[in-house]
Structure 1
Amino acid sequence: MATSVLLLDEQTIQHLGEIYHEAIHQIPPHAHYQLKLPSLSVTAYKSGKVVLQGTAVDKFIQKHDLTALTSTKKTNYDTNGLPEGFSNWSVIGSDEVGTGSYFGPLTVACAFVPKNLIKELQQLGVKDSKNLTDVQIQEIVPKIKALIPYKLLTLWPEKYNEVQQTKNLNEMKALLHNQAIKRLYQQINPDLLQAILIDEFCSPSNYYRYLGDQSAPLKSITYFKTKGESHHIAVAAASMIARDAFLEGLKTLSKEYGYPLLSGANASVDELASNILEYDGMELLSKVAKLHFANTQKAIDLVK
């Protein structure tokens, strides 16, 4: 799918809106309109920027003689397959926490970091949550939240176990990431956004296949990278927000059900799960744990 960004005058934007009035799909924030045409999406922003996405981009430009007004810039890519200078762009980063822990929720967070706030986040100590202690994360996250826009989604174990009956883990993650990104995109000024970076947990083709008929905002400027936090601080910020929410989720469940729930999936977790099974049964375990993990069978064996 091709993408072109045009800089058009107000008269041209209004003229196109009149021609394709019946094709106006919606009016995104800070935009005049968004057109849904065959094989083409046209979003006209009040700044004069017009984003065309689809397979009919060139045809549309030629038809309306817009070539002379096109703002073109050849993009060079670094060895990681990201545009040069990407770490200094204004980016939405997205990450999740909880997929390797038997107890507790699955949390997905995305954060928008405009380039003018990158240094300030670095000074706060924002980096990959795996390189920080839980105490450090819980100290820094409130400062992150006060500084930048973000969205957080929490899938609690009881709902997780229900959804897992029909969707695999990567499918659940894809749907949550996409939902969080869409909500955050509606909250920010789209003129500032240069890219979206998702910490890669499956191939891009599978990610979009999992979304099914759900729309995915700005697919053409969405990138997937493992260890995404090393490529942009937005992913690191999202990772920390998600980790903080996961820890709070463990604390909430521990308090509600009276067991000191542990992070991870080790032998100590098996022992705790077996105690929950023995005294309160599978019904309670399903409210605090992800039952499809091998830990469930280990806990059952321990009870026997």
Structure 2
Amino acid sequence: MARKRKQEDEGPKKKAIYTLKLDEEQREKLRGILENGPYLDFEVAYADFAYKAENFNVVCYTSGKVVVQGKGTEDFVTDILEPEVTGDPRLGYDEIHHPEWFEPHAGLDESGKGDLFGPLVVACVIADGTAVRHWRENGIQDSKSIASDARIFALEKEIRKTDGVVVKTLHMGMEKYNTLYKKFGSNTNRLLAWMHSTVLKEAFAVKPVEWGMLDQFSKQPLVQRNLKDVPIDLRMMTKAESDPVVAAASIVARALYVRQMSDLSKEAGEPLLKGASAQVKQQAVRIVKKFGPDALPRFAKINFKTSNEAIALAEDS
């Protein structure tokens, strides 16, 4: 009991990780502060610069993304980064800048759409303000900003065990995906719209909410057309993963995609690569040579141009 009272007296848990994007001028301002302050520089792959203090690290990547991590994250952000670099107080003001994030709503996202190998996975998460506050304290963010699969799995576990949260997912085996792709007129967006609407209906049946947010993948309201019998306002925007509930959906979808890729890799006899690069094409060629051209649909999306190119290269060599 004494421990519980102590935790309550200490107030809400402070953030241990914070990410943001800085422009070139802001990055140079931050570099100057770190160079001239009580910080030690160290090397990080793909980083423009990185510094560490006693209880936090600051890493600025070449993309412009800055990651502050450690027990002292919140103090550094509120005392130095925001007042001296960005001039925009954001940390701790989410409910002022984005009150809609804390309303009960649905978030939807997918994983695997741009990868030759592995399934297309969609996820729908429904959550309220209490869950979002908890997630913000525990580093729930867009899955694309998280490099570690172990971290993805840990965050997925945190999302699924949060009280009052509904999580629904949908994916299918590769051969089923390739069959459905043809059924939907060889149109990935139409198939994706059906998948999103299916998981949203399932989640809505458990916990109805007034609105949902979806990362915009088409100019046409394809998902909404499948929701005429569902009384929900489904909104779309680019970079919707800034919404914590959409970010949670992106993590759940990514976790399931990674697990499916692991199973397919075992079947292929080698770790399957993500994306659709030249290296991925060469791997597809090896798989065709090993198992035959008819086996490629067991591992790959046949709608990718890379699939046909790999089959042709395997037959010519």
TM-score normalised by length of structure 1: 0.66
Equivalent residues in 2 for 1:119-198, closer than 5 Å: 119-133=133-147, 134-147=149-162, 148-167=165-184, 168-188=187-207, 190=208, 193-198=209-214
Given the alignment of the two structures, is residue 270 of structure 1 paired with residue 281 of structure 2, yes or no?
yes
Determine the structure 1 residue equivalent to 2:258: 247
Partners of 1:141 and 1:91 in 2: how far apart? Answer: 18
Partners of 1:84 and 1:132 in 2: how far apart? Answer: 23
Partners of 1:205 and 1:132 in 2: how far apart? Answer: 29
The answer on whether the counterparts of 1:94 and 1:177 sit within 8 Å (CA) in structure 2 is yes
Q: What amino acid maps onto 1:169 in structure 2? A: T
Q: 1:113 to 1:151 in 2, by over 3 A?
A: same
Determine the structure 2 residue equivalent to 1:280: 291
Q: 1:216 to 1:273 in 2, by over 3 A?
A: farther
Q: What amino acid maps onto 2:271 in structure 1? A: P
Partners of 1:215 and 1:157 in 2: how far apart? Answer: 29
Partners of 1:178 and 1:166 in 2: how far apart? Answer: 17
Equivalent residues in 2 for 1:97-112, closer than 5 Å: 97-112=111-126
Give 1:166 deviation, angstroms.
2.8
Given the alignment of the two structures, is residue 228 of structure 1 paired with residue 237 of structure 2, yes or no?
no
Identify which range, 275-284 or 168-177, moves more after superposition: 275-284
CA deviation vs aligned residue, 1:193-241 (integer Å, no higher than 9, x gap): 24211111113534344x3xx645224x2211111111x2110000000
Given the alignment of the two structures, is residue 118 of structure 1 paired with residue 137 of structure 2, yes or no?
no
Partners of 2:143 and 2:178 in 1: how far apart? Answer: 26
- Equivalent residue of 2:292, what SS? helix
Give 1:269 deviation, angstroms.
0.8
Identify which range, 101-110 or 147-156, moves more after superposition: 147-156
Higher relative contact order (Cα pairs below 8 Å, separated by 6+ residues): 1
Give 1:140 deviation, angstroms.
1.3
Partners of 1:186 and 1:205 in 2: how far apart? Answer: 21
Give 1:107 deviation, angstroms.
0.3
The answer on whether the counterparts of 2:293 and 2:311 sit within 8 Å (CA) in structure 1 is no
The answer on whether the counterparts of 2:268 and 2:287 sit within 8 Å (CA) in structure 1 is no
Determine the structure 2 residue equivalent to 1:20: none
Unaligned residue ranges in structure 2 (runs of 5+): 1-96
CA deviation vs aligned residue, 1:168-197 (integer Å, no higher than 9, x gap): 101111111011011011112x3xx24211
Q: What amino acid maps onto 2:215 in structure 1? A: D
Q: What amino acid maps onto 2:312 in structure 1? A: D
Partners of 2:196 and 2:128 in 1: how far apart? Answer: 20
Partners of 2:234 and 2:103 in 1: how far apart? Answer: 13
The answer on whether the counterparts of 1:174 and 1:207 sit within 8 Å (CA) in structure 2 is yes
Give 1:254 deviation, angstroms.
1.4
Unaligned residue ranges in structure 1 (runs of 5+): 1-82
How many residues are matched? 214
Determine the structure 2 residue equivalent to 1:56: none
CA deviation vs aligned residue, 1:227-280 (integer Å, no higher than 9, x gap): 1111x2110000000001100010011123423211111111111110111121
Identical counterparts, % of pairs: 31
Determine the structure 2 residue equivalent to 1:25: none
- Equivalent residue of 1:290, what SS? coil
The answer on whether the counterparts of 2:197 and 2:223 sit within 8 Å (CA) in structure 1 is no
Q: What amino acid maps onto 1:225 in structure 2? A: M
